[in-house]
Chain A
Amino acid sequence: MTVTAYVMVKASTGEADRVKGAIRGVEGVEEAHIVAGDMDFVVKVRVDGPAQVKEVAADGIQGIDGVEDTRTYIAMD
């Protein structure tokens, strides 16, 4: 069961390139874009199940230096 999720990431650093590179390096991350607004990145995640979504967001992305907060939305369609 493939699950797609979107993770909004708020940074705490201006080094957007480094953070974006690190996010793209997390397994399960398909795309990552720098966006305007109160979150700094939108990340598309495709993994094998809901549990892995949490792993990617909580362990993978939140573990990156310069990431302050994440919000995860699992696609329903």
Chain B
Amino acid sequence: MRFIVIGAGRVGLRTARVLHEEGHEVTVVEGDGERADRARDAGFTVFEGDGSREETLVEAGVEAADAVGALTGDLNANFAACMIADHYGCRTVMRIDEDYREEIYTKYADEVDEIIYPERLGAIGAKNALLGGNIRAIADIAEHLQVLLFTITAESPMRGYTLSEVSLPAQARILAFGKDGEPMGIPLSDDSLEEGDRLAVLADFDVLGDVRQLLVGENAAATLASAAGTER
């Protein structure tokens, strides 16, 4: 696919790199000459110009692009770029700078298909690191809803039971199950939980603690300690 990434900062360049590594065609648009040079030196295809102007985006190839990521730190520039890109039929992704704005732009910015708040994603990574190896947040589905991956430990209260015997709180669902070392699949009621098996669970924030106690064990400190011992 063809993408235009606006902004050669940390977020823009990382995004461009990942897309490029996955075989997509990416043009980075950057208004600052030094930044543009640095990105070009790093091997990116860079178009120097103001990404919030239509002429720039046309020259950068917006007509042939599938999607445009407006990923600068400037909300006005990002929004303007999304308006133009939307006009050209592209999928649009806009970076915002404060979390409360997610709701506002989701509701009012019809030209924007998806909002990105990088700090939220960074916080998920930091939280995963803090929780240790047994619990990993996979995605925020909604403000209060998250998908988490739990690894069954020796201390898990549910170890040795089958999935049908696991009674999660009402605001939680098992989405997928994988035996130790095997790929994840559809959970079956007679799958048994052994150490090292993994469960993907959709859970409301209110019951996360309960789900964790059930699947990983009561002692958070022990969980962290064992994670510290097993992580590389």
Q: Which residues of A contact B (CB under 8 A)?
A: 11-17, 34, 36-38, 40
Contacts and interface: CB of A to CB of B under 8 A. Distances in A.
Contacts of B100: 11-14
Interface of B: 75-76, 78-80, 97, 100-105, 107-109
A70 to B, nearest CB: 16
Nearest to A16: B104
Contact of A34 (B78, B97, B102, B108): B108
A34 B76 contact: no
21 contacts: A11-B104, A12-B100, A13-B100, A14-B100, A14-B101, A14-B104, A16-B103, A16-B104, A17-B107, A34-B104, A34-B108, A36-B75, A36-B76, A36-B79, A36-B109, A37-B76, A37-B79, A38-B75, A38-B97, A40-B101, A40-B104
4 interchain residue pairs of minimum CB distance: A14-B103, A36-B79, A37-B76, A14-B100
A14 B102 contact: yes
Nearest to A38: B75
Given A34-B108, A36-B109, A15 B103 contact: yes
A14 B115 CA distance: 14
A63 B130 CA distance: 39
Q: Classify the secondary structure of A's interface with B.
A: loop
Contacts of A40: 101, 104
Contacts of A11: 100, 104
Given A34-B104, A38-B75, 17 more contacts: A11-B100, A13-B100, A14-B103, A14-B104, A15-B103, A16-B103, A16-B104, A16-B107, A16-B108, A34-B108, A36-B76, A36-B78, A37-B75, A37-B76, A38-B76, A38-B97, A40-B104
Nearest to A36: B79
A27 B98 CA distance: 30
Q: Which of A11, A12, A14 gathers the greatest number of chain B CB atoms within 10 Å?
A: A14
A20 B80 CA distance: 22
A17 B109 CA distance: 14
A12 B104 CA distance: 11
A34 B105 CA distance: 10
A16 B75 CA distance: 17
Contacts of A13: 100
A76 B109 CA distance: 32
Contacts of B109: 36
A36 B76 CA distance: 6
